[in-house]
Structure 1
């Protein structure tokens, strides 16, 4: 079921983003725009945890304000990361005293996988709070999303990232094909769906390869699941073993290369259940109902599937050595 939903989403995503790309870049959502992830590295020391979270949210706001897919949950290879220096810190006032700080916040954008830094800028901000934590949060809140230096940094990064897709598209396609040949289908599909629609030619190539690689994944899954279903049925050849076999059979796409064997096994199981336990097993009817439900709900669930697919990717280990 999950794989069928993902495939429905991939097809719908391709159609939707192609429409957006041809009509208005300003209307593009996070899956069609260039993506940069806000990332606060462990090297940024002496900042309270809640203040770090606030700074990460602030960077996401900055990215979104400048036309970037800046979700903190989207696992992009491109990152914006800060370094914070305390220029001054004083206790002011009397009852109760407050903490006043002046910070230099430097922002760096680059490829967090290869370690290539695209550029950086730094701004000074002030914050006052009842304690140090609140003073940091107040300072980070004073960072303006439309800050001129930050805007220039992001715009320059956009050009570098767009060039990455435009100039390196053949490599991206080749790498995805190599992953598929190693049965790393999910990783290949994820990389291909990460190509932004603003890189029109590369995006179109990616959409074509998504269909090819998903077909390869679907056929391999069919072979694996069919074997598991056969073993489950042969283990008992009764109603319980039929239900276990059905669990695997229901995950197989009807368009899979081995689906004629799926129907043959299902027919054998139906006859075997009827003969050995005098009961009915209605796998084929149930599967048709499942397909009808998928078709009915795919437009409603496509966005949720997209977010789940992105959020379930392994967390990247970013390489920012030497950025500051």
Structure 2
């Protein structure tokens, strides 16, 4: 089923890639497919902070990035990250009733390429938090981080420029990486790499879009051969209605524009005749598949933005970023 979903989604990309820019212009901003994106990441190296406070800090960073229209979708790995490091400057317990904890913190924010380990820049913010206990004092301090901080804004603008340079200057490397992945039959990852190039890097974006179609065709042709063999073996195993349904499960995942689709139709007709002759039941696989394709055409604009996210969402969420030497 997952294979079918990504195939159908990729079909929509091929016919709507040229419309992404116009849709973005009409909305006044880009979506996750066309933007330079940074995600917040609280490293395990940030020690001695309660879990709830870490979550609060990550949410605060997400607010900062959203405020500057550069927030990426969380829940899956992203190449560019914002990372904090927290130092306790002082801690005091007030002899009040009840006692209160006062924390003065130095919160450093770093932005960089978490895959290649390149730091773009950093700033430091000093904040104070007061709470009934240490956990609440941390929460209070992180709430006091100003998302409109001018230094944070400058750091983000600087990082945007560095990311744009990454795509503009390293475009040939990105395209070659995608080709190499495709040659290893890692088509989903190759398509993700190409789809991740932001629209704002116009030349690289256009080159990446041009490569998507060729890699996509290689993917569906390979998938067609594999799935057709499985469908043939399923039908030949017993040539009854159950084997016909199993065969249809494989056939229904094959993209109609793939090279071997004429063989798919031949097998489907063979199965239909066998089902009608031996079991006296109707088997309308091809009609149902055409209905499914029609439905995808109707919802194409809604599904296009999911294409570049599909591969990333399938990756482990506990990916370890390379931030060695950032602080």
TM-score, length of structure 2 as denominator length: 0.93
Structure 1 gap segments, 5+ residues each: none
Per-residue deviation, residues 131-188 of structure 1 (Å, max 9, x unmatched):
2111111111111112111111111111111000001111101110110110001111
Per-residue deviation, residues 230-273 of structure 1 (Å, max 9, x unmatched):
01001111111000000000010110110000000001111111
* CA–CA distance in structure 2, aligned partners of residues 74 and 25 of structure 1: 25
* CA–CA distance in structure 2, aligned partners of residues 117 and 25 of structure 1: 32
Per-residue deviation, residues 35-69 of structure 1 (Å, max 9, x unmatched):
11211110100000011111111111111212213
Cα separation, partners in 2 of 1:271 and 1:53, compared to 1, 3 Å: same
1:2 to 2, 5, 18: 5
Q: CA deviation at 1:303?
A: 4.4
Partner of 1:317: 320
1:1-324 aligned within 5 A: 1-11=4-14, 14-20=17-23, 23=25, 26-303=28-305, 307=309, 309-315=311-317, 316-324=319-327
How many residue pairs align between the two structures? 323
Residues 88, 106 of structure 2: 8 Å contact kept: yes
* CA–CA distance in structure 2, aligned partners of residues 274 and 240 of structure 1: 13
Residues 30, 68 of structure 1: 8 Å contact kept: no
* CA–CA distance in structure 2, aligned partners of residues 188 and 239 of structure 1: 38
1:27 match: secondary structure: coil
RMSD across aligned positions (CA): 1.9
* CA–CA distance in structure 1, aligned partners of residues 94 and 26 of structure 2: 51
TM-score, length of structure 1 as denominator length: 0.94
